[in-house]
């Protein structure tokens, strides 16, 4: 009986190492995007109470429409004190170009009157003298003011280092690996704010928003034209639109569909 030859030992498989990209730092992102969109110079837009009203008007609509609605409101009433004392149908008519006027009109009047009750007037410049967490908490005690809205008011009107995370900043930050893929926009405010120097918060916010609008689109980002691509872990990954699902007759007609709540 012939001797059975031992089976050859399997060769160890070579480990293939993927070449990862080093994560870009916030200063590098600002510098690289600044060459395309900069310089990012801070300029206050409005009085903080006016910024509160504009922020409410900007929810669920475009910047163009919200600004039109704000200017229409001020032309109609002349001052925020007059808006606080105005009747809701008149406020609603003044802001109708901004959308959701029936929801926003009573909310604007409610917020203005709450500010007057808390402070005795509509002057919110005192927020600049508070520690940033306290200033945020004060604004967030107002109805309709969440993390993003509070950050926008503090950053744009008062020049405080509050990180505002909108849909563009959230998307681009995830693609750059600055935050995890499952981090919510609300949680991203504190994470990104902690990794960016106070003086860089405003330029970082504006840089990412501009980049998200011009290059890093939600669908089909223009990676070939992106100056951040060499340091972006998502560069070159195809991001195609998911296939459209066929709608049933019930879904086409809207039967059984929920209504999106206003936040």
> Rg of the chain's alpha carbons, rounded to an integer?
25
Catalytic residue among 118, 148, 174, 251: 148
Report how far residue 190's alpha carbon sits from residue 206's, in angstroms, rounded to the nearest whole number.
17
| DSSP state at residue 228 | T
Four-residue CA torsion sign, 41, 46, 52, 57 = negative
Report how far residue 96's alpha carbon sits from residue 88's, in angstroms, rounded to the nearest whole number.
12
For the question of residue 148 being annotated catalytic, the response is yes
Cβ(216)–Cβ(172) below 8 Å: yes
Contacts of 228 (CB under 8 A, 6+ apart): 24, 29, 32, 33, 176, 211, 235
Catalytically active residues, by annotation: 148
């Amino acid at each position: 009986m012939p001797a059975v030859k031992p089976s050859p030992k399997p060769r160890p498989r070579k480990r293939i190492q993927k070449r990862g990209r080093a994560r870009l730092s916030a200063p590098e992102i600002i510098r690289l995007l600044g060459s395309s969109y900069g310089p990012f110079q801070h300029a206050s837009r409005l009085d903080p109470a006016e910024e509160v009203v504009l922020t409410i008007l900007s929810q669920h609509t475009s910047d163009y429409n919200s600004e039109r609605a704000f200017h229409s409101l001020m032309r109609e009433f002349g001052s925020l004190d007059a808006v606080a004392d105005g009747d809701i149908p008149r406020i609603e008519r003044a802001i109708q170009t901004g959308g959701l006027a029936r929801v926003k009109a009573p909310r604007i009047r409610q917020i203005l009157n709450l500010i007057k009750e808390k402070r005795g007037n509509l002057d919110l410049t005192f927020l600049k003298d508070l520690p940033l967490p306290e200033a945020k908490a004060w604004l967030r005690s107002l109805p309709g003011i969440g993390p993003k809205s509070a950050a926008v008011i503090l950053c744009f009107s008062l020049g405080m280092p509050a990180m505002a995370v909108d849909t563009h900043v959230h998307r681009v930050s995830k693609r750059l690996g600055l935050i995890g893929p499952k981090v919510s926009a609300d949680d991203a405010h504190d994470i990104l704010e902690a990794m960016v120097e106070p003086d860089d918060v405003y330029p970082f916010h504006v840089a990412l928003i501009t980049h998200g609008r011009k290059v890093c689109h939600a669908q089909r980002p223009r990676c070939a034209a992106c100056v951040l691509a060499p340091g972006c872990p998502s560069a070159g990954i195809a991001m195609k639109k998911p296939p459209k699902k066929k709608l049933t007759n019930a879904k086409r007609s809207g039967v059984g569909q929920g209504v999106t709540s206003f936040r």
